[in-house]
A = this chain, B = another copy of it.
Amino acid sequence: MSVTAAQGFTASGVAAGIKENGNPDLALVVNTGPRLAAAAVFTSNRVKAAPVLWSEQVVKGGQVSAVVLNSGGANACTGPLGFQDAHATAEKVADALGHSAGEVVVASTGLIGVRLPMDAVLSGVDKAAGALSAHGGEKAAIAIKTTDTVHKTAVATSPAGWTVGGMAKGAGMLAPGLATMLVVLTTDADVDAPGLDTALRAATRTTFDRIDSDGCMSTNDMVLLMASGASGVTPDAAEFAEAVRTVCADLARQLIGDAEGASKDIRIEVVGAATEDDAVEVGRSIARNNLFKCAVHGEDPNWGRVLSAIGTTSAAFEPDQLNVAINDVWVCKNGSVGEDRELVDMRYREVRVTADLAAGGESAVIWTNDLTADYVHENSAYSS
């Protein structure tokens, strides 16, 4: 049910002709109210795509009536003309729906440094507006796919009568500070923009911000949360925050599971850290170590590469107190050889690494993927 699981939203996904292969490439999600509250987080990359620059301004107002998303082109590094294209797209949506362009978020994904085919985009907006439906969530989720092999949706429903639903796209370039992913969340809970912002930032900090497929950070990422208030229920703040977090975690896990060329999903849990920041730093360092990622691909419990990655961080630890488990076998104890590495079974897709810094009580989980020849192929054989 995706973004239309919650009441007060319509959506559509169409083939606008932006992608040369004729696949769906333009999605529209409309908040039909009564409330039009919204919050968003954007890429922390300093090189931001035109739609990000546009949408940051829109979201500052706290009121969003619609979001239009296209695949097939990122509209990034396209200069002032690219910004005009993003603006024109918002104006076109506003015209079609009778709203103000200042309430229309624009999101794009695809190749950097290429102008969008605006004839296709603008006619696609008309087509999408005509196809809006309270059951259009799946089609919208399909239209934002790029190299994704499956579309990603998630829903959480409260016994109190409200729902949070969402869709995501992204299969590579996942990294902290967000990375080539576009996520739209909707809810019919009655929450104002500041309340949405609080829940969304808390949720992304421990979900999307802790998946790091290939260490690369995109120019276009966005997670948007819109509230229609259509359930008429003002939720308990903690319960609402948890529902948003649950949907984000579900979608984040789906992104990792569909990462470009990956054959393993790697869950890195850092425990025994002096601070949560230390745990995150160590987790990211392991997640970004190409040699470790290759070893996991080869089903080789090469804990030396884990220690080597930990050693590059500034986290509190003593080298001779580090412990590492791979799939629950403590192959490294006290910085040296531990249990027999032959005991580690790495045949399954999910691989669990536990790094114990023996320096405190804090922890964090970072998800990544293995590094494969398929990843190299997908990212070298053609421009993307």
A216 beta carbon closer than 8 Å to chain B: yes
In the complex the two chains form, is A379's CB within 8 Å of B310's CB? no
In the complex the two chains form, is B47's CB within 8 Å of A79's CB? no
In the assembly, what is the distance between CA of A76 and CA of B172, in Å? 34
CB proximity to B under 8 Å, residues A356-379:
371-373, 375-377, 379
Chain A: number of interface residues, binned into ranges: 35 or more
CB proximity to B under 8 Å, residues A300-316:
300, 302-305, 307-313
In the complex the two chains form, is A311's CB within 8 Å of B371's CB? no
In the assembly, what is the distance between CA of A303 and CA of B375, in Å? 19
A100 beta carbon closer than 8 Å to chain B: no
Contact with B along A77-97 (1 / 0, CB 8 A): 111001000000000000000
With A217-B312, A310-B47, A311-B217 already in contact, the answer to whether A113 and B290 are too (CB < 8 A) is no
In the complex the two chains form, is A308's CB within 8 Å of B78's CB? no
In the complex the two chains form, is A300's CB within 8 Å of B337's CB? no
Contact with B along A55-78 (1 / 0, CB 8 A): 000000000000000000010111
In the complex the two chains form, is A291's CB within 8 Å of B47's CB? no
With A288-B215, A295-B379 already in contact, the answer to whether A47 and B173 are too (CB < 8 A) is no
A375: chain B residues within 8 A (beta carbon): 290, 294, 376
A31 beta carbon closer than 8 Å to chain B: no
Q: How far is the CB of A71 from chain B (nearest CB, A)?
A: 16
Q: How far is the CB of A310 from chain B (nearest CB, A)?
A: 6
CB proximity to B under 8 Å, residues A127-161:
none
In the assembly, what is the distance between CA of A379 and CA of B371, in Å? 10
Chain B residue at minimal CB-CB distance from A317:
B46
With A46-B312, A312-B46 already in contact, the answer to whether A82 and B300 are too (CB < 8 A) is no
In the complex the two chains form, is A79's CB within 8 Å of B319's CB? no
Chain B residue at minimal CB-CB distance from A322:
B47
In the complex the two chains form, is B337's CB within 8 Å of A291's CB? no
In the complex the two chains form, is B173's CB within 8 Å of A304's CB? no
Contact with B along A208-228 (1 / 0, CB 8 A): 000000111111000000000
A380 beta carbon closer than 8 Å to chain B: yes
Ordered by A's residue number, 22 sampled pairs between the chains whose C-beta atoms are within 8 Å are A45-B311, A46-B319, A47-B319, A77-B303, A78-B336, A79-B335, A79-B336, A79-B337, A111-B304, A112-B305, A113-B304, A115-B337, A172-B291, A216-B290, A217-B311, A290-B290, A290-B379, A298-B380, A300-B380, A302-B383, A371-B376, A373-B377
Known: A47-B308, A290-B379, A297-B376. 10 other contacts (CB 8 A): A47-B322, A47-B335, A48-B319, A112-B302, A216-B308, A290-B371, A291-B379, A295-B383, A300-B382, A373-B377
